[in-house]
Chains A and B, each alone.
Chain A
Amino acid sequence: MASSDYLLLLLADSNLPTGSFVASAGLESYVTHGFFSSRPVNSALDSTVSFVSDSVSSYAHSSLPFVTDTHAVIHALAQREGADDTALVEQALEDIRQLDELYHAMTVNHVARRASKAQGVALLTLYSKGFSRPPNITVTEQCPRETRMAMLVDKLKLAIRREESHGHLPICWAVLAGALGLTLERSQYLHLFLHARSLLSASVRLNTLGPYASQQLLLHAISPLIEAATARSSHLRTGLQLPTLLPTSDQPAVQDAEEFDETTDGPAVTWPLGEILAARHDLQHSRIFNS
């Protein structure tokens, strides 16, 4: 398996067909509704940083718990001893569907739902088409992790096609990152980085920022924002009790259900204005993004 650094380089590639280039996560609507001021000179920079800050904080608080729990399920599936791959995969799939269902119930905004599902499914396709082993590269012994992950992703894609599951972005991201063996910390961090970077790409397409200014912000402003958002939200969980994460004779419990307090440890939206603006996306007279 490729090193973790090499995986980061691959996953951070802005050319990956992840669907994020058609999503502005409410930025276009924010600009149209008059919340973005481009004068005086520094205002465009300030307005962009404000939007990214509020958007990333809220997204981190609402989506990272799902990345974390899904990653834990994938990790457990990869580690668990047992010969019956199918049974283990079925249980993990059931847990992932529960996570997907809860994320769906918590993402009420129909525009965000639509974008999240489109991007989630694109990530699963990326895994099976872009990250599976090509036919000319053979290995003498197939590792059990790869077998289970391929099986899981296929079953999840089928469930989504049959509309038995939704395929939301944070869940599918954690499936992809976990299946590739990326650590939880890196999966969380990269998820927020990709969210923030796609907002800056959207700014350039909307012409509210130039490409150089966008790069300046990525280096000097976005980095501390992502650090702070990760620090605030990386410990959050969904609160769902997932059978894959229950203790077994050889492994301790991944989370203690008794300890969970949803008011301090659970997912939440922290920017209600962002929800309203994102939901109003389709009302714009002219628009270039899908969200």
Chain B
Amino acid sequence: MGDSSPNINVIRKIDAGAGRIVLGLHGSSAVFSELSYTYPLKLLSPRIAHQGVGVIYNLTYGGGLVGGDHIYLSIEVEHGAILVLLTQGSTKVFKSRPGRKVAVRDHDPRQQGQGVVPTKQVMDVTIPDHSAIFLLPEPVTCFRMASYNQIQKFRLSGKASAVLLDWITSGRKSRGEEWEFSRYYSTNELWVDRKRIVKDVLLLQDEELDVKPLPPRKLCDRLSPYSCYATVILYGPLVESTIQHLAGMYEAMTVFKRSTAPDLIWSLSCVNDYPSRGGILRVAGKETEQVKKWMGDTLQPLEEVVGTDVYRKAFW
């Protein structure tokens, strides 16, 4: 890993936690024309045999993010290249330390008195026609009291492709954590030819308001019996067969009345508006490994696009 070192000349004076990736094609091989990053972000590119595919591991020092960490990653893919973005192991978000107080809004009772510094990850991605991004990280795991914001924007041209996996686990199960973080906010925006096709925003936090005489309803009550939730946004010509495969599976299902909740549950919504096909896959499972295995099996048609090696790195 790391044998294609970044060109030092192109690392500009950038803020802590900032990074930039530009991937293009040289002949038939994918070449990083820019790869720069600053602490605590670290980007590594292993050598990949599959033509036209470049892989980046998005790492953070110490294997996780602490309160106040801000990661900003800007990505461009050019000339028909395919960028696969992976992480090594789950992205851990540690407890947000109290201290430097974030701006508190008078009208927002949720923010008052918490005084925690959230962790923030921002990603801005531009993909022109015939190029693609496959964002296939391990899930985010927020520890008890962690506060996390993630904002990802993907600007695609009409013939660009994208697979955007975004998932979260309930915490460190070994320590008995089940949805005990303070706050998790994640937004994924997909723009195609300057039109916003999807803006998927998920906010998970404990409700702090009193609803007496009703008993308090904790975050884990709302999300149980599942401890892993995943969303996959798929778009563009390279994933058409994958969407068709999923739609076929989905439409073949018939649900008869059950007495208990299933171990794994999923849904597919197609976005057919404009200009071509896209889909949103949502999966929830009692075990993270089970969700991962299910996705690895179900998204199999993607293996042909990125190559077996890369596909296995993502789902094994």
Report A's interface with B, CB cutoff 8 A: 29, 31-35, 49-50, 53-54, 57, 61-62, 101-102, 105-106, 108-111, 220-221, 224-225, 227-228, 231-232, 235, 262-273, 275-277, 279-280, 283-285
Contact = CB atoms under 8 A, between A and B. Distances in A.
Given A264-B105, A271-B222, A280-B265, A101 B151 contact: no
A-side binding surface: helix, strand, loop or mixed?
Answer: helix
Interface in B236-280: 250, 253-262, 265-271, 280
A262 B269 contact: no
Nearest to B208: A232
Interface string B194-234: 00111111111101011111100100011100100101000
A232 B209 contact: yes
Contacts, number: 139
Contacts of B221: 50
A113 to B, nearest CB: 8
B254 A285 contact: yes
Contacts of B58: none
Contacts of A280: 255, 265, 267
B259 A34 contact: yes
B204 A273 contact: no
Given A53-B217, A262-B187, A235 B108 contact: yes
Contacts of A105: 196-199
Contacts of B258: 32-34
B282 interface: yes
Given A220-B213, A263-B118, A273-B223, 8 more contacts: A108-B198, A224-B211, A227-B211, A263-B187, A269-B202, A269-B203, A270-B202, A275-B282
| Most chain A CB inside 10 Å of its own CB: which residue of B110, B200, B223, B254 | B200
Contacts of A272: 202, 204, 223, 229, 231, 282, 284
Contact of B217 (A54, A102, A279): A54
B214 A53 contact: yes
